[in-house]
Amino acid sequence: MRRAGVVALNTFREAVRDRVLYNLVFFALLMIAASVAVGQISIGIEQTVIVSLGLSAISVIGLLISVFIGVALVSKEMDKRTLYTLLAKPVRRWEFLLGKFAGLVLTLAVNTAAMALGLLLVMIYVKHTLERSDAVVLVAVYFILLKLALIVALALMFSCFTTPLLAILFTVGLYIVGLYVQELRNVPVNVMSPAMAAFTKWLSYLLPNFENFNVMAMAAHGKAVPGAFILQNTLYTVVYCAIVLTAAAAVFSRRNLK
């Protein structure tokens, strides 16, 4: 575990030095523009507009980072052969994978926290105050981070057995499908054969459920998110990531490096 920590910190350092955090400048500019623009709109919906825009930006920026850097975490080290020297150290392959995963999640956490802080500042600027109910924005940001962790795990797993380009396609594809898992569960059973219905149901539980992480509407309107739901999403992410990373480790531990 300590060795995974060493890899994680180096992954974080790589992200910082590769200027991944520069996206924050873009986010800051967007938020400043929005806060100026929102002043022109009628009073009462500033909160909705600012929160929706801010959370969407946090989510999209996070998605781009988690997919593209998530896929490159392992493939870059294989392509550049930096992995050769590393694996000759007393470090197991799964420890390397876990470290890479943790390093990018740490990067995303720092990045997301900075953006969340920016969003809160803009909310204060627009509303001149923060209310207790605004805490839901933080819950929404937390859910975005959980979602990103899951995406990183998937991107990492795909990159362990396929090319970076395909890994990106698989990850994005699975993310899009995962947004509609609920629809899959809601397909009327009577339109399918029993076997097909069973398969659909089974599939809907197997696929990552990204829909549950979206509480943007509640956040925009200041509605509280139940504590049990927060706990459920947290546990779901931890368990799902653990399964995906175990699969990734199983594949990667047997892989011949060229």
Partner 1 sequence: MTGPAIEIENLTKKYPFGFLNLKNRMSLEGLNMQVETGEVFGFIGPNGAGKSTAIKLLMRLIFPTAGSARILGKPISDVEMHRDIGYLPEQPYFYDYLTAAEVLDYFARFHDLTAADRKERVERMLKKVGLETARKIQLRKYVGLAQAILHDPKLVILDEPMSGLDPVGRREVRDIILELKRDGKTVMFSTHILSDAEMLCDRVGVIVGGKLRGVGAPGTLVDMKTQGMEILFELTGTSNAPLLSKATRTGDRYRLQVAEEELYAAIEQLRGAGARILSVSQVKATLEEFFMNLVEADRAQGAAVEVSGQ
Q: What tokens appear for 230 in the block?
A: 């927060």
Nearer to partner 1, 4 or 145 (CB): 4
Q: Toward partner 1, which CB reaches closer, 190 or 256?
A: 256
Smallest distance, Å, CB 154 to partner 1? 25
- Residue 94 vs 229, nearer CB to partner 1: 94
Taking Cα atoms as reference points, which of 1, 19, 169 lies closest to residue 101? 1
Nearer to partner 1, 9 or 192 (CB): 9
State the minimum distance, in angstroms, from the CB of residue 257 to partner 1. Answer: 5
Give the whole-angstrom CA distance, residue 78 versus residue 93: 12
Go through the chain and tell me how many residues it has.
258
Q: How far apart are CB 17 and partner 1 at their closest, in Å?
A: 4
Tell me if 207 sits within 8 A of 181, measured CB to CB: yes
Smallest distance from the beta carbon of 72 to partner 1, in angstroms? 13
CB of 87 to partner 1, least distance (A): 6
* 87 Cβ neighbours under 8 A, 6+ residues apart: 93, 96, 257
State which residue, 11 or 212, has the beta carbon closest to partner 1. 11
Alpha-helix residue ranges (DSSP H) falling in 162-193: 164-178, 181-186
Count of Cβ atoms closer than 10 Å to residue 89 Cβ: 9
Contact 155, 66 (CB under 8 A): yes
Pick 88 or 195: Cβ nearer partner 1: 88
The distance of closest approach from Cβ of residue 101 to partner 1 in the complex, given in angstroms and rounded to an integer, is 18
State how far the alpha carbon of 139 is from the alpha carbons of 113, 143, 221, 252, in Å.
12, 6, 13, 34
Q: What does the binding site for partner 1 look like in residue numbers (CB under 8 A)? A: 3, 6, 10, 13-14, 17-18, 80-82, 84-92, 254, 256-257
